[in-house]
Amino acid sequence: METIIILVFVLGYLAITLEHNLKIDKLIPALVMMAICWALIALGLDHFTEWFDSSTHTLLENFGLLGHEEKLHLMEETLLHHLGKTAEILVFLLGAMTIVEIIDYFDGFATIKGFVKTKSKKRILWIFGFLAFFLSAIIDNLTATIVLISILQKLVSDKSVRIWYVGLIVIAANAGGAWSPIGDVTTTMLWIGKKVTTGHLFVYLFIPSLLCMLVPTFIASFLPAFKGNLENVEEDKNDKPKSKYSATMLYLGLGGIVSVPIFKTITHLPPYVGMMLALGVVAIFAELYSNSKFALSYDGDDCSEASDHEGHHSPVHASLAKIELPSILFFLGILMAVAALESLGILFGFATSLQDNMPMLGTELHHAGVSDLVVLLLGVGSAVIDNVPLVAASLGMFTEPIDNELWHFIAFSAGTGGSMLIIGSAAGVVAMGMEKIDFFWYLKKISWLALIGFLVGSIAFMFTRTIF
């Protein structure tokens, strides 16, 4: 039965990685895989001899001696435990997505365009590199990529030049998301799973992540694509923010998201509680500003367009309607499917065999028998397949305590390794869609830069972990 469950997982995983070829959204195989895996566990419950207790991270060796009713009760408890942990992540992401959509409702991200005052291609590269790096740490790498590409489309008219910028934005955004607990889904999973803390995440990963962005950007600045100045781009008269509260909502929204780790540190409550508080505060101001007829301060068409916004739609309702629910359902499916493998002790056994058979590369992880090579391979693997299930699997495979170097290296490796292929990260996939970037163009022009950044950052981490 275990073999069949693993086969179902592998086939589902394969369907997820080939979603573009199969033309089936990856949430579908994720949900089907999750349901079938748990159904097989329920049907074959009496045949399993081992069960992994997620709360204590140990195998229940006497599981095979339990009666059917006891096993059934334990399975239900385990399923509820994993659903609760998964819900923490999903509710957190829903809150963050809604805040970002509220900012966008007020056209808050148009404020960022005002930061760019130069026509130099090289300077614009550095500006967008740093914007992507720090913005992704606040609003997550996927959203930061969407925002910056949207701004870039208004600044750089030549697509052959623009896609070079987009490639470097993907690298910078993934690097920026790795050192922040709210910057990348995988890092958020580790943070909510109580594997890393905000302070240690910054201390261990900020320098490696910064180098992962700086080195490729520095090398790229000498390439022909970034020499000279941009052609003059005519200012779009309709490009001004639709609301006088645009900047206010931008800073309020970003401040609300940034306050979540602080709230968790002070109260020791799960992060989703702080995110709900931040969403509530941002939503209050959104409703107040929306009801104050902000659009009447503008003339002409802008007035009628914005007044239609405030007259017929709540900004919170409009923002919730734009939430990307397929992503939320995908995370539900993949995390619960991985939980099925974890519950049977399959991941634990796999981790044990890895620790026994993989050679050490460089210095050992302190107090851990896990090879650096394993974590580096996880980073390379995240470029080929989705990094969410890889990190979800690592949560069930390894039992190292909170803030162990292993978890921080996994956060860096899974977060930045995906930059090596355009399909390897959410930021890359959305960039591919927005700019119609060819897979092989990215492979030839950008992948080597991403690989250099990944290796430099990994080496830097191996040094920083010995200092702190």
DSSP states of 432-468: HHHHT--HHHHHHHTHHHHHHHHHHHHHHHHHHHHH-
Predicted pLDDT of residue 426 = 77
Distance CA 352, CA 219 (A): 40
Q: Mean pLDDT across the stretch 434-451?
A: 88
- Which residues, including other chains, have CB under 8 Å from residue 445's CB and lie 6 or more apart? 164, 167
| pLDDT for residue 238 is more than 70 | no
| pLDDT for residue 361 is more than 90 | no
Q: Mean pLDDT across the stretch 78-90?
A: 88
Predicted pLDDT of residue 56 = 65
Distance CA 464, CA 233 (A): 44
Q: Which band of pLDDT confidence, cut at 50, 70 and 90, is reported for residue 153? A: confident
Distance CA 210, CA 53 (A): 38
Predicted pLDDT of residue 241 = 56
| pLDDT for residue 295 is more than 50 | no
Least reliable range by pLDDT among 252-261, 367-376, 411-420: 367-376
| pLDDT for residue 147 is more than 60 | yes
Predicted pLDDT of residue 220 = 93
Q: Mean pLDDT across the stretch 31-36?
A: 94
Maximum average pLDDT range among 129-138, 143-152, 182-191, 293-302: 129-138
The 3-class secondary structure across 186-232, one letter per residue, is HHHHHHHCCCCCHHHHHHHHHHHHHHHHHHHHHHHCCCHHHCCECCC
Residue 332 near residue 79 (C-beta atoms within 8 A): no
Say which residue, 425 or 291, is predicted with more confidence. 425
Predicted pLDDT of residue 125 = 93
And the tokens for 468? 């702190």
The four Cα atoms 265, 270, 272, 276 give a dihedral, to 10 degrees, of -70
